[in-house]
């Protein structure tokens, strides 16, 4: 029992070290050149790197305490600027809107569906209505995660066809190679998702990967498995 606990604690400590490693990655060059003068490292003040925001992606870390902080307290609006204090705090606008656990903590699609918000389709004409196309596209996924269903309805409520077609997605079956790496790096779905529309996190996988695999589905065997002489 005590041995197990000891192992667990060691594990936790090593995890902590990994998490805080960006803070330790200060440069260790002995001498720094600044113009014509050469400064030795000993004379430079100690540079303490702040922990980078990359760590907030770790799902084991604490949740944001106040996700919709008013502008003067949000960390990038300048509190010394008069205009900052005139701006509307998000929470005031979010009263009565359906909530989620991610992004702005508002379910924007639901809010629009329920008529809680009425954003204009045209800049100056409040009566203009969008052309909504209700067409679901099912994209089979090679991996064992559920297949992706892309709903045109929710997207055409907000966007025009030309926003995505043909620059981001070629409107043709099988013409678009999409993978999560590309999305995480801001391509394909990642042009909006992970930036302005719902973020890409463990919580939101199943928003896209929503269609269970067929009952007879088995994971495809890898090349290495197929060539394995002992198989």
Partner 1 sequence: MSRNNDDKINWRYAVLGLLAGLAMLVIVPAKAEYADVIINNYADAAGMRPVVFPHWFHRIRFRCKVCHADLGFKFKAGGNKITMAKIINGQFCGACHNGQISWSVENCNMCHSGIPGTPTHIHGSTVQRLVSPPYKPLKARVQQPPQTNK
Dist. CA 98–CA 194, nearest whole Å:
20
Q: How far is the CB of 173 from partner 1 (least distance, A)?
A: 24
DSSP 27-75: ---SEEEETTEEEEGGGSPP--PPPPGGGGG-TTSPPPS-TT--GGGSS
Q: How many CA atoms lie within 13 A of 68 on its CB side?
A: 16
By the rule CB under 8 A, 138 interacts with partner 1: no
CA dihedral 84, 53, 33, 42 (to 10 degrees): 110
- Give the interface segment with partner 1, choosing from 11-19, 171-179, 205-213, 215-223 (CB under 8 A): 11-19
Dist. CA 229–CA 58, nearest whole Å:
41
Q: How many CA atoms lie within 13 A of 116 on its CB side?
A: 15
- Contacts to partner 1 from residues 83-102, by CB under 8 A: 83-84, 86-88, 90, 93, 102
Comparing CB distances to partner 1, the nearer of 74 and 211 is: 74
Q: How far is the CB of 90 from partner 1 (least distance, A)?
A: 5
Comparing CB distances to partner 1, the nearer of 3 and 218 is: 3
Comparing CB distances to partner 1, the nearer of 154 and 213 is: 154
Q: How far is the CB of 220 from partner 1 (least distance, A)?
A: 28
CA 142 to the chain's CA centroid: 22
- Contacts to partner 1 from residues 179-208, by CB under 8 A: 184-186, 190-192, 194-196, 199-201
DSSP 122-141: SSS-TT--------EEEE--
- Contacts to partner 1 from residues 112-131, by CB under 8 A: 117, 119-124, 130
In contact, 203 and 105? CB cutoff 8 Å:
no
Among 25, 30, 33, 46, binds partner 1 (CB under 8 A): 46
Comparing CB distances to partner 1, the nearer of 157 and 208 is: 157
Among 29, 34, 174, 215, binds partner 1 (CB under 8 A): 34
Annotate each residue in 65-84 with x if it binds partner 1 (CB under 8 A) or - if it does not, as one string. Answer: xxxxx-x-xxxxxx--xxxx
| Neighbouring residues of 121: CB distance < 8 A, sequence distance ≥ 6 | 128, 129, 130
Q: How far is the CB of 142 from partner 1 (least distance, A)?
A: 22
Phi, psi of 134 (to 5 degrees): -95, 90
Among 25, 28, 33, 57, binds partner 1 (CB under 8 A): 57
By the rule CB under 8 A, 24 interacts with partner 1: no
């Amino acid at each position: 029992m005590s041995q197990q606990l000891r192992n667990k604690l060691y594990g936790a400590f090593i995890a902590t070290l990994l998490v805080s490693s960006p803070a330790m990655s200060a440069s260790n060059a002995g001498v720094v050149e600044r113009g014509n003068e050469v400064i030795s490292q000993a004379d430079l003040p100690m540079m303490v790197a702040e922990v980078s925001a990359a760590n907030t992606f770790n799902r084991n870390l604490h949740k944001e305490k106040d996700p919709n902080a008013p502008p003067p307290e949000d960390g990038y609006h300048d509190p010394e600027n008069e205009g900052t204090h005139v701006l509307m705090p998000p929470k005031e606008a979010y009263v009565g809107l359906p909530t989620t656990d991610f992004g702005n903590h508002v379910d924007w699609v639901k809010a629009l569906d329920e008529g809680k918000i009425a954003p204009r389709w045209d800049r100056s004409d409040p009566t203009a209505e969008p052309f909504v196309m209700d067409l679901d596209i099912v994209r089979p996924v090679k991996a064992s995660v559920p297949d992706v269903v892309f709903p045109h309805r929710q997207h055409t409520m907000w966007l025009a066809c030309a926003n995505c077609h043909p620059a981001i997605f070629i409107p043709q079956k099988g013409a678009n190679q999409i993978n999560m790496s590309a999305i995480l790096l801001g391509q394909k779905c990642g042009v909006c998702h992970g930036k302005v529309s719902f973020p890409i996190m463990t919580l939101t996988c199943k928003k896209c990967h929503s269609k269970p695999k067929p009952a007879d589905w088995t994971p495809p065997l890898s090349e290495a498995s197929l060539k394995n002489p002992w198989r």
